[in-house]
Structure 1
Amino acid sequence: MRPFVGTVVFVLLGLAAAAAIGFYPAFVSAPVVIDDEQTGFDKELVIKFSHVVAENTPKGLAAQEFARLVKEKTNNQVKVEVFPNGVLYNEPDEVEALMHGKVQMIAPSFSNISEQVPAWQVFDLPYAFLSNEAVQEAFNGEIGRMLYQKLESKNMVGLAYWGNGFKQMTSNRGPLIHPSDFKGQRFRILPSQVIEAQFRQFDAKTTAIPFNDVYRGFESGIADGGENTISNIYTKRFYQVQKFMTLSNHGYLGYGVLMNKDYWDHLPDVLKQQIRAALEETSRWANQNAVQMNEQQLEEIRQRSTIQIHVQTSSERAEWMEALNPIYSQFQRIIGKELIDRIRELQKKYGG
C-alpha cells in the first residue's frame, strides 16, 4: 500500500504545481469562468445609496422614487437600499467612501463634490443661473457633460443631476439687503472656496458646518446665518432659529448622482440601461417637484413662523451681482475658462 500512497501524493503535488502555472493535463478540466453578463444574476443585486438629508426633501423623495423605479424596471433584480439623514455616511465622508467603494451610490451637493473635483465649483458661482430654465440647460447640456468627464479620474461616474432649488440668505442679526449688511457676521457654508469667497466679498466670516448640525449651530450662535434653499430651511426648521430671510436666489443648490466607477463598470449592460432609464425618469420628476416644493413650503414658512422675509428687488440684485463679480476672474484658473464662458452665455441668455 505504501507505493500507492506515494504515487497519489506525487500526482496531487504534480497537479497543484501544474495549476499554479496555468497548465492542466488533458484528463483534468480547467476552471470554468462564469460570465455574469451572459448567465444573468441568480441573486438580487443590492445598491447602497447614502445621502445626508431628510426623506421628505427633494433629494430624499427623489432617492425613494429612484429605488422604486429600479425595482420595477429590473423586475426585482436590483434593489436600491436608501440610507437618509447621514446614517451611513455624513457630508465630510460620503465622497471618499464612494471613491473607495465603501458605498455604491451617493448624491452629494455640488460643493461637496468640488472638494475632490474643483471644477464643480462652477455651480457655486453667485448668480450663475438666473432661472430654473438656465439650471436645466446646464444640467442637460455641455456644462453637465464636461463635469461628468472630470469625475472618472476619481473613480466616480456621474449619472444624473438633481435640483433642490435656489438659495436664500438668513440671519439672526438683522436684515440682509445690501452687501454692507453682512459685515462682521459669521455664516455657515458648505466646503467650497467659491462660497467662502462670496461671503468674503461681503466682509463676512464663514464656518463650515455639516448639514445635520446646522440647526444646533444657529441655535447656539456658532453661526449668525447661512444660505440654503426654502425646502431645507423648512424641513430642518431653520426658520425657528433664524430671524431674517432675504429671498435672493443668489445661488443654486443641487446634487450630482454618482456611482462608484469600478462597481458601475462591472454591471451588465442591460442593468446599466435599466438604471439609467430609472434615473432619467426620476430626474424629470424630481427637478419639477423641487420647484413646486420650494413654492409651497415658502407659503408654509410665511404662515407658521415669525421670520421676517425680504424679497430682493432688481436694483438690490444688481448691487449684489456687481459686488460678487470679481469671484469669476478669481476662480477662472481653478474652474476653467471654458466652463466660466458657458456660464456667462447662460447669464446673457436668461436675463443677466
Structure 2
Amino acid sequence: MKKLLVLLSITVLILVACGRPSADSTNGEDTVYTIRIAHLVPEEQSSHLAALTFKEKLEKESNGRLKVEIYPNGALFGSDREAIEAVQLGNLEMTIPAVAPLASFNKKFMVFDLPFIFNDHEAAYKALDGELGESLLEDLQKNSLKGLVFAENGFRHMSNHKGAITSPDDLKGMKFRTLENPVHTDTFKSFGANASPFAFGELYTALQQGTYDAMEAPISLYYTNKFYEVQEYLTLTGHVYAATILLMNNDFYNQLPEDLQALVTEASEEYRTEQREIAQGQDVEFLEKLKENGMKVNEITPEQKDAFREAAKVVYDKFTAEIGEDLVEQAKAANQ
C-alpha cells in the first residue's frame, strides 16, 4: 500500500512539474519562483525544523519573489535516491538527502562514507566546509545539481533485536540494512553481516516483519521514526559521520536573478549553522528518550572500536583508487 501511495505521489509531482513552470511568468522583478523541497525526515527532526527557517527567510527577504513549499516525511519520495533523481531531472527544485546516496551520481562523494574517516564533529566540519567539501559541491554541477551546503544527520550507530554488539563477530550472518551506497554495504560485509541496501521509507515495516535483523542510523532518526519499537539494542559505534546536503536543480539556480541567488546562498549557510546546532541538541535529548522507550544502549571501548577499524581496512583497499587517493588523504587530514 505504501509503495502505491509513493508511486501516486511521484506521478502527481511529475505531472505538476510538467504542467507548470517553476517561475510564474510575469515581467521583471515581479516574477515569482517556486521552490519545492522534498525530504524524508519527520517534522520534528532538525533538517525539517531548519528548513522552516530557510523558507521564512527566502520568502520574507525576497519580498515574495521566492515561494517555498516543503514536503517532509517522505510524502513525495520513498528514498533519497528518488528525490535526488527528481531534482537532477528538474521535476523538483530542492531536496535535503543524506550524502551517501549521492555516490550513485558522483563517486567522489564516497569519501565521506569511508568507515571511521572522521574522529569527531570538528574534523567532519573542517572537511565538509573546507577545500574538500567546496570542491565536491562544485563538482556536482556536471550532474545537473547545485550543491549549496552540507549539514548533518550525525554519527551513525548500529542496532538490532538480538543482543548488544561489541565486536564484528556479533554481526556475522545478521541480516543488515544499509544505505544505498556500496561503501556502506561493503563495510558491513567486512564486519561479517549479510548486508544489503533498502529504501528508508519502508525500513520500519521490513524490520517489523523480520526481513532485516539490524540497521544503522543517527540517533535522531532512531527516535523520530520510532525504530525503538522494532529494534531492542542500540550500540554507539559512531562508525560513519552522516552528512546531509542541501541540493538544488542547477538549471533552476542559474535562472534565478543574481540577487536571489545570493539570498539562497546566504540562507543556505544560515540553515547549515542552525541545523547542526539543533541536531547536536537532539542527539542528547533523543538518546535519553530512546532509553526511556526501552532501548538497551551500550557503548564500545576504544579497543573494541579498533577491531571494527581493522576489519574495515579492506574497504579502504577496495575504494581508495576509485574515490581518489588525494580526496581520501584530504579527509584524513581533517583529523589533525
Look up the match of 2:45. 57
- SS across alignment from 2:52: helix
Q: Structure 1 residue 71: deviation in Å? A: 1.4
Look up the match of 1:339. 327
Look up the match of 1:88. 76
Look up the match of 1:234. 223
Name structure 1 gaps, 5 residues minimum.
Answer: 1-35
Look up the match of 1:46. 34
Candidates 162, 166, 191, aligned match of 1:202: 191
Q: Which range moves more in the overlay, 157-166 or 41-50?
A: 41-50
Look up the match of 1:288. 277
Look up the match of 2:253. 264
Name structure 2 gaps, 5 residues minimum.
Answer: 1-23
The aligned runs of 1:145-294 (5 Å cut-off) are: 145-294=134-283
Look up the match of 1:4. none
Residues in 2 aligned to 1:65 and 1:338: alpha-carbon distance in whole angstroms: 37
CA deviations 1:137-196 (Å, max 9, x no partner) are 112101111211221111111101111111110011222110111000011111111001
CA deviations 1:307-343 (Å, max 9, x no partner) are 2111111111112112112211210122111110112
Residues in 2 aligned to 1:206 and 1:68: alpha-carbon distance in whole angstroms: 41
Look up the match of 1:16. none
Q: Which amino acid aligns with 2:71?
A: F
Q: Which amino acid aligns with 2:233?
A: F
Candidates 84, 103, 112, aligned match of 2:101: 112
Q: Structure 1 residue 80: deviation in Å? A: 1.1
For the aligned residue pairs, the C-alpha RMSD in angstroms reads 1.4
Q: Structure 1 residue 207: deviation in Å? A: 2.6
Q: Structure 1 residue 73: deviation in Å? A: 2.0
What is the aligned length? 310
Residues in 1 aligned to 2:48 and 2:243: alpha-carbon distance in whole angstroms: 12
Query: In terms of Rg, which structure is larger?
Result: 1
Query: Are 1:186 and 1:225, in contact at CA under 8 Å, matched by a contact in 2?
Result: yes
Q: Which range moves more in the overlay, 55-64 or 237-246?
A: 55-64
Q: Structure 1 residue 222: deviation in Å? A: 0.6
Look up the match of 1:307. 295
Look up the match of 2:16. none
- Residue identity over aligned pairs, in percent, reads 30
Look up the match of 1:318. 306
Residues in 1 aligned to 2:31 and 2:84: alpha-carbon distance in whole angstroms: 28
CA deviations 1:232-261 (Å, max 9, x no partner) are 000001011111110111112221111111
- SS across alignment from 1:279: helix
Query: Are 1:209 and 1:217, in contact at CA under 8 Å, matched by a contact in 2?
Result: no
Query: Are 2:78 and 2:202, in contact at CA under 8 Å, matched by a contact in 1?
Result: no
Query: Are 1:174 and 1:244, in contact at CA under 8 Å, matched by a contact in 2?
Result: yes
Q: Which range moves more in the overlay, 160-169 or 67-76?
A: 67-76
- SS across alignment from 1:88: coil
Query: Are 2:98 and 2:153, in contact at CA under 8 Å, matched by a contact in 1?
Result: no
CA deviations 1:78-97 (Å, max 9, x no partner) are 11111112222332411111
Look up the match of 2:10. none
Q: Structure 1 residue 298: deviation in Å? A: 0.4
Q: Which range moves more in the overlay, 223-232 or 316-325?
A: 316-325
Check if 1:297 corresponds to 2:286.
Answer: yes
Q: Which amino acid aligns with 1:51?
A: H
- SS across alignment from 1:251: strand
- SS across alignment from 1:66: helix
Residues in 2 aligned to 1:90 and 1:259: alpha-carbon distance in whole angstroms: 19
The list of structure 1 runs, each at least 4 consecutive aligned residues, that deviate by more than 4 angstroms after superposition, is: none
Residues in 2 aligned to 1:149 and 1:42: alpha-carbon distance in whole angstroms: 30
Residues in 1 aligned to 2:288 and 2:266: alpha-carbon distance in whole angstroms: 34
Q: Which amino acid aligns with 1:121?
A: M
Query: Are 1:170 and 1:226, in contact at CA under 8 Å, matched by a contact in 2?
Result: yes
Residues in 2 aligned to 1:97 and 1:175: alpha-carbon distance in whole angstroms: 39
TM normalised by structure 1 equals: 0.85
